[in-house]
Amino acid sequence: MNDNLRRRFHRRKRVLLQRIDKKKGKTHTPMIRPLRAKYELANKVEAISCGGIGMIMQLVQQLGLRKHINQSAPVFKLHAPYDEADHVLNIALNLLAGGTCLEHLEHRRTDQAYLDALGAERIPDPTTAGDFCRRFDGFKLLLLMQGINAARKKVWKQQSDAFFEQATIEADGTMVETCGEKKEGVGINYKGQWGYHPLVVTLAETKELLYLANRSGNRPSGEGSSFYFDRAIELCRSAGFRKILLRGDTDFSSTQHLDRWDAQGVRFVFGYDANKTLTAIADSLDESAWKPLRRQRSTSKNPRAKRPNYKEQIVVENGYENKKLRAESYAEFPYQPGNCKRPYRMVAVRKNIDVTTGQQFLFSTEKYFFYISNEPKQEKQSRELIGDGNHRCDQENTISQLKASHALTAPLDSLESNWAYMLFASLAWTLKLWSGLMVRVKGNPGQKKARKRLRDRVIKMEFSTFLTSLIQIPAQVIRSSRQLKLRILTYRLGVENLFTLSDHIAMPLRT
């Protein structure tokens, strides 16, 4: 960003802050006063509401994503006229431009300014996009995921050495409900929900989606997870991560694979079913083996006051049965699962629960949670393993963002075609994360601090916030024979972040 542009940003920001300042602004009421509106049609000027899409296209070009997609999943014998990358990017960019479903591709393809911003003559319509998804099977989709991961490694190469200290790979299943009655592969789960049950494998440090596998709605969460864990381990090893940690809940403690992962030097922390054997061992432990578990609380200097729990008030008033946690403790012992040839660390968490109805105390009970791990004791204590197991819950936020971006939906008629759509659409979330990871934390101390703050903010940002603050910015589209310019038509706080992201994406890649 040059000095002239920076000065213009400062000037616009100063004027805006003065306008919205309560002390300096106008005091008359009402503030929102409808004016008489008159519409006109511009003759030559074209504009789009998603001016930030140019930054995404710049990222696609810089990483060579088109080439990786076309080489990894060649499903066409002839490109007439679209190639594979046209279709994949078309679905992902639709979500980044504010669309929520396949039908919204019709709005994109009939918007001349949008086509100019993409540098496209035309893009596939919804029917053609659906037909493309039906061309894929599980093997071709795996190849496509490998192609996207090849571009992902280019992004990882731009990171500092500390980035490669550890890769935490997490897996979980989630329900994608559908009301369709003629969708092949749907199933009903134990909650009575109809739909699909995709497996989601992510990288905890960056919230990136590494692998996605669609399954019927009645399949268990951990089914097939070991295969995708192995692929993710291979990916992270080839990228240069020094330590790899696997995390998952009780459905992912694949005991038949623990010895193999341990021999490979892979660490793991999995939840484990509280079966009769483990519960009996925990009950037989001496009371001195149990230590009180104190959860880490907020360290803020000005903690917020606790708000009343209105749900609990209703439970008490209506005399419902209420379970309240009184205390927690933990203990550790060695345990060898039946499918393993060596024992591992088993950490038990005991929860003491008081059961009441209304104001009347009924009884106290205990509930156990177990975690199995091969982490050495000298590196991680039992409390740290419990923390690792609990931190896996953050993956739920990543899955919720995939759903919020409308990537985890089932608009088509078969399991594999919906799998393909989910994979193509989830690329929108991936591109959002990559745009943040491309920010280089370098320069003087002030620049480093600002750039790290921007990088972390984009990575942690919700998808809807990312669209509102960095993508859905009105811009004039000026297209010439050799160049495309997107002229931002408005100023609001944070617009300069778009220019910063664009500048960093344009920097030469580290190879």
| 6 Cβ contact partners less than 8 Å away, ≥ 6 residues apart | 496
pLDDT of residue 299: 63
Phi-psi region of 319 (alpha: psi -120 to 50; beta: other; left: phi over 0): left
Tokens of 226: 């070991």
- For residue 34, whether the previous peptide bond is cis, meaning omega lies within 30 degrees of 0, is no
Tokens of 339: 């499918």
Examine the pLDDT at 25 and tell me if it is beyond 70: no
Distance, CA of 491 to CA of 504 (rounded, Å): 21
- To which H or E segment does residue 306 belong? none
Phi-psi region of 265 (alpha: psi -120 to 50; beta: other; left: phi over 0): left
Q: Are 225 and 171 in contact (CB under 8 A)?
A: yes
Examine the pLDDT at 300 and tell me if it is beyond 70: no
Q: Are 136 and 416 in contact (CB under 8 A)?
A: yes
Q: Which one-letter amino acid corresponds to residue 466?
A: F
Write phi, then psi, for 100 (nearest 5 degrees): -125, -10
Distance, CA of 228 to CA of 201 (rounded, Å): 7
Q: What's the mean pLDDT in 136-150? A: 96
Examine the pLDDT at 248 and tell me if it is beyond 70: yes
pLDDT of residue 40: 75
Average pLDDT, the chain: 91
* pLDDT band (50, 70, 90) for residue 261: very high
Examine the pLDDT at 294 and tell me if it is beyond 90: no
Q: Is the pTM of this model over 0.85?
A: yes
Q: Are 174 and 196 in contact (CB under 8 A)?
A: no
CATH domain 166-271+374-404 topology: Nucleotidyltransferase; domain 5 (3.30.420)
Q: What's the mean pLDDT in 124-142? A: 95
Examine the pLDDT at 186 and tell me if it is beyond 90: yes
- How many of the other CB atoms lie within 10 Å of CB of 35? 5
- How many of the other CB atoms lie within 10 Å of CB of 167? 26
Distance, CA of 286 to CA of 265 (rounded, Å): 33
> By mean pLDDT, which of 20-29, 277-286, 298-307 is the weakest?
20-29
| 339 Cβ contact partners less than 8 Å away, ≥ 6 residues apart | 255, 256, 258
* pLDDT band (50, 70, 90) for residue 45: confident
Q: Are 361 and 326 in contact (CB under 8 A)?
A: no
* pLDDT band (50, 70, 90) for residue 135: very high
pLDDT of residue 482: 78
* pLDDT band (50, 70, 90) for residue 96: very high
* pLDDT band (50, 70, 90) for residue 432: very high
- To which H or E segment does residue 365 belong? strand 360-373
pLDDT of residue 26: 64
**Pick from 503, 291, 271: which is nearest to 392 by CA?**
271
Domain residue ranges in the chain: 3-14+43-135+419-505, 166-271+374-404, 273-293+315-337+344-372
Judged by DSSP in three states, 213 sits in strand
> By mean pLDDT, which of 294-298, 416-420, 438-442 is the weakest?
294-298
Q: What's the mean pLDDT in 437-447? A: 90
Distance, CA of 462 to CA of 153 (rounded, Å): 23
Task: Kindly report, residue by residue over 318-352, the tens digit of the pLDDT.
Answer: 989 999 999 999 999 999 998 999 999 999 999 99
